[in-house]
Structure 1
Amino acid sequence: MYADTNLRFTLVMAGGSVAGAALGGLLLGVFSDLVLIPALAVVLLVSAVKLARHD
């Protein structure tokens, strides 16, 4: 049971990483770095808090 939970968590994290990389690549041509870098910082901070709370 623990392995299933761990695998599911890993797949969700990997899927989010791939989707975020693709979306970020597309947005790079639309928005300037002055917008994207602070937005990325916020996303990473929220992700870190969620990961810290994960049991």
Structure 2
Amino acid sequence: MALAREIKDQQSEGKALGNLGLAYLSLGDYAKAIEYTQQWLAIARQINDSAFLH
């Protein structure tokens, strides 16, 4: 995720955030899952990525 941010690859950053959200969800850490999923959604909306928004 840090590398994606550094090279400004928002799509990869969003995927990484989404994966972190899913990982925390599977661990039962719902607060962290929501935190990462909200960041993922914000990026998806910003880049208007329909694959993320469906």
What TM-score, normalized to structure 1?
Answer: 0.42
Of structures 1 and 2, the one scoring higher in RCO (CA 8 A, sep 6+) is 2
Q: Which has the larger radius of gyration?
A: 1
What TM-score, normalized to structure 2?
Answer: 0.42
